[in-house]
């Protein structure tokens, strides 16, 4: 049996199933709730980016993950 921990929140992922209960982004494993937080954090930033650039998008996601690893959570800043 494989034991897997989220790289962000450090919680164990019970019965890990790829792309269902955990997600692999580059060298990081994210639980479902941390992935949802990452997508929400990216969503509010991407809406204001014109023109869109995939290299910038990938760097943004990795920067948010690195920040999340340091803080043990991904900050979701919603804009009004």
**1: confidence class by pLDDT, cuts 50, 70, 90:** low
Is this model's pTM higher than 0.85 or not?
Answer: no
User: Model confidence over 49-69: pLDDT tens digits?
Assistant: 888 889 999 999 999 999 999
**11: confidence class by pLDDT, cuts 50, 70, 90:** very high
| Separation of alpha carbons 9 and 18, rounded Å | 18
Instruction: Report pLDDT for 18.
Output: 86
CB 61 within 8 A of CB 25: yes
Question: At residue 19, does pLDDT exceed 50?
Answer: yes
Question: At residue 79, does pLDDT exceed 70?
Answer: no
Q: Following DSSP, what letter does each residue of 35-74 receive, concatenated?
A: HHHHHHHHHHHHTT-SS--HHHHHHHHHHHHHHHHHHTS-
């Amino acid at each position: 049996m494989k034991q897997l921990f989220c790289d962000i929140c450090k919680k164990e992922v019970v019965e890990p199933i790829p792309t269902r209960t955990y997600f692999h982004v580059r060298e990081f494993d994210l639980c479902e709730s941390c992935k949802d937080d990452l997508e929400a954090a990216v969503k509010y930033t991407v809406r204001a980016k014109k023109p869109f650039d995939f290299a910038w998008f990938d760097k943004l996601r990795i920067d948010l993950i690195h920040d999340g690893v340091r803080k043990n959570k991904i900050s979701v800043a919603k804009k009004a």
